[in-house]
Amino acid sequence: MNRNFALTAAIAALCLSTSAAMAGDFEISGYGGIQSAVGSHVDMSDQPDFHADWEGKSFSSPPYWGVRGTYWFTDGSWKDLGISLDYSHDKVYATKSTMARAGFSHFEFTDGLNLLTLNALYRFPIENSPLVPYIGAGIGINVPHVEVTRPSGKTFEYQFGGATLQAQAGVAYRVTDNWSAFLEYKGTYSFIDTDIDHGGTLKTNIMTNAVNFGVSYKF
């Protein structure tokens, strides 16, 4: 897990250091919103596979939230292109019917799916308007907090899950030269491969959908 974090951080540092030599603006953003997840197939190594239905419960503790740092290029051939490093605390709870099918008494990733992605963004400024639409896509890693309780034992720990893909589209509203607010859709697709009690493994691919509202400050 540490090697994957280090690789992602190194790539981000390289991109941001390269961008530092070019004209641009750096902004930091924070956001929250409503996050849900699509049902997924769960592959088990030591018991029958099953289908999981997920709930997001965005405002239950711990809530859904995220932060990102973005560097926007402001001139040259890269004008209006951005590079962002985005962390989001996505989460999913298995429904009661899912746990009954699996024979689990507890099944969730709720102290975060913990997604860290490096993204390319492009914005479309509107002349004489404070509105700035944008789109983006990227790739990164997920580090879920695996919470599984079943008759054979209990798993309750952070693990490296695998790769995550991300796509987003939204619109920012410039309030002042430095402050802006934004509304966006963000979707993620995470490939999760984790260990559970007694040497078992649990694999599933989770797609989340979120409508985010946030604020950004430009330095």
CA 59 to chain CA centroid, nearest Å: 16
Q: What is the CATH number of the domain that holds 142?
A: 2.40.160.20
Q: What is the residue type of 14?
A: L
Per the structure, how many domains does the chain have? 1
Tens digit of each residue's pLDDT (9 = 90 or more) over 71-123: 999 888 888 999 999 999 999 999 999 999 999 999 999 999 999 999 999 99
Question: Residue 26: inside a domain, yes or no?
Answer: no
Tens digit of each residue's pLDDT (9 = 90 or more) over 129-151: 999 999 999 999 999 999 999 99
The span from the CA of 37 to the CA of 34, in Å, is: 10
The tokens describing 214, both together, are 């946030």
Question: Residue 176: inside a domain, yes or no?
Answer: yes
- pTM of structure: 0.88
Question: Residue 28: inside a domain, yes or no?
Answer: no
**In which domain, by residue range, is 195 found?**
2-19+35-218
Q: Which one is predicted more confidently, 78 or 171?
A: 171
- The residues pairing with 81 across neighbouring beta strands, listed in sequence order, are 122
Question: Residue 204: inside a domain, yes or no?
Answer: yes
